[in-house]
Amino acid sequence: MTPIDDSKMLQFIALGSGEFSTNIDNPLLEQYILQQAINIKPSICFIATASEDSERYIKDFYKVFSIKNCKPTHITISDMNEKCVDSIIEKQDILYIGDGNLNFMINTWRKFRMEEKLKEAYHKGQIIVGSGTSAIYLFEEGIWKDESLVYKISAGLGLIKGVLCPYYNNVESKQALFKLISNGRISSGLAVDDGAAVHFKNGESAKCVISKKNSSAYSLSTDIKFTEEHMEVIMLG
């Protein structure tokens, strides 16, 4: 295991949805992500495991990033079985994890030790981006809808403390969260809308940026009664 480099800033960006797959004509969040890298022309790698390597999703990634000042590439499930995958990951400034089926992603990653590789990359100072459901897995826990369309809490890697609920401006997601809170399953957490991203630095939320008017992120608490506190947001563009 690669030791943690204390001289590196640890950065994680949690998107409230699979942003460019649903809003390809508004790439403001993607531009913001690229601007966080030290390199002027950063290397960015898309990992679309959760979508089972959807060809459309991968094409959309290149459609957005190939016209920007960056070096885009991607890793498929078949690539994970190759020795070269470690060198591909090591060369990246940014690892962008796509949205999709959380269970499928977790089970696949465990076969190829991708969880360990992701942790190593994070602790070496590479920027990790999680979109929608995949962002959940970087937190201690997250709320997501499984294959049977039931909302549940899933344990994550714990790189970021707390519970994440993406797609918060979706009525169904919000109702599911309220139900889990009322049942005592959750005492606090972070909720992020579609069109919003929360940027964590060294494990702490530093800012919330949005690409859509009225999108936001919220700090949730049930210390005495349920409270939903808007984070201060920065409108991009």
**CATH code of 231's domain:** 3.40.50.880
- Supply angle C-alpha 72, 18, 187, rounded to 5: 130
Instruction: Note whether residue 3 is domain-resident.
Output: no
pLDDT at 65: 95
pLDDT at 196: 95
φ, ψ (nearest 5 deg) of residue 233: -115, 155
Q: What is the pLDDT along the chain (237 residues), one digit of tens a residue?
A: 445 555 689 999 999 987 665 566 778 999 999 999 999 999 999 999 999 999 999 999 999 999 999 999 999 999 998 878 999 999 999 999 999 999 999 999 999 999 999 999 999 999 999 999 999 999 999 888 777 767 788 889 999 998 999 999 888 888 887 777 777 777 778 999 999 999 999 999 999 999 989 999 999 887 667 778 999 999 998
Instruction: Note whether residue 2 is domain-resident.
Output: no
* Radius of gyration of the chain measured on its C-alpha atoms: 17
Q: Could you tell me which of 9, 47, 17, 51 has the C-alpha nearest to residue 136?
A: 17
Q: Which amino acid is at 175?
A: Q
pLDDT at 19: 67
pLDDT at 146: 74
Instruction: Note whether residue 4 is domain-resident.
Output: no
The single-letter DSSP state of residue 14 is E
Strands 196-201 and 188-192, bridge-based pairing: unpaired
pLDDT at 136: 92
The set of residues, in sequence order, having a beta carbon less than 8 Å from that of 13 and lying 6+ positions away, is: 33, 36, 127, 128, 129, 130, 197, 198, 199, 200
Using one digit for the tens of pLDDT, what is the confidence trace for 35-88? 999 999 999 999 999 999 999 999 999 999 999 999 999 999 999 988 789 999
- The first and second tokens of residue 220, run together, are 């949730």
Q: Could you tell me which of 102, 19, 111, 99 has the C-alpha nearest to residue 65?
A: 19
The set of residues, in sequence order, having a beta carbon less than 8 Å from that of 175 and lying 6+ positions away, is: none
pLDDT at 10: 97
pLDDT at 1: 46
Instruction: Note whether residue 1 is domain-resident.
Output: no
Instruction: Note whether residue 152 is domain-resident.
Output: yes
Parent domain of 62: 11-235
How many folded domains does the chain comprise?
1
The sign one gets for the Cα dihedral 137, 138, 141, 143 is negative
Separation CA 44–CA 63 (nearest Å): 14
**165 and 192 in contact (C-beta within 8 Å)?**
yes
